[in-house]
A = this chain, B = another copy of it.
């Protein structure tokens, strides 16, 4: 028996292949948000998606495959880093987005982090996604350099971005603190003040 999904017409963008993927990944997100990755099963996803189990097994093989694809799909979204006109404003807006994604109940972002502790495949996909997002955000630092907001053109953009955003993840995910509406701006300002004092100067690195 030939697989109807493998016929050429079904592989066109927006065709049945894409539609089935969208349905299945929506179901994965919903199941993850409701029950965490521990509640994620091939059967539950197939049922919720209204897709035949055999199709889910054939295309995603196992729960790890579903996790990887849902993380990869998040990377395919046309996300743009904020552009507010100042580094402080950009980092604050970025942190607000992060805080929102971690605080919303249920949080898909937190469910993925939990899953990545248990699935090596999911962890690798998540690491890739995060690397992409931080790389995309380097433009915030480049624009700040162009505007003359930083003391040197040799600023380690990634370290600055990590310093700005890490307190959000630490407070909300690991320390499980109550969300603090001031934290996004506070953490952004801390990074900007440190950057102004030369904390992320790439030259410093060479001299140590």
The chain A residues found within 8 Å of chain B, CB to CB, are: 36, 38, 110, 113-114, 117-118, 123, 127, 130-131, 159, 162-163, 165-167, 169-171, 173-176, 182, 185-187, 189-191, 193-194, 196-200, 205, 208
- Contact yes or no, B208 A182, CB < 8 A: yes
- Contact yes or no, A163 B169, CB < 8 A: no
28 contacts between A and B (CB under 8 A): A36-B117, A38-B118, A113-B117, A113-B174, A114-B114, A114-B117, A117-B117, A127-B175, A130-B174, A159-B186, A162-B167, A162-B170, A163-B163, A163-B190, A165-B170, A166-B167, A166-B170, A166-B171, A169-B169, A169-B174, A173-B174, A182-B205, A185-B208, A190-B200, A191-B194, A193-B193, A193-B198, A194-B197
The prevalent SS among residues of A at the interface is: helix
- Shortest Cβ distance from A103 into chain B, in angstroms? 16
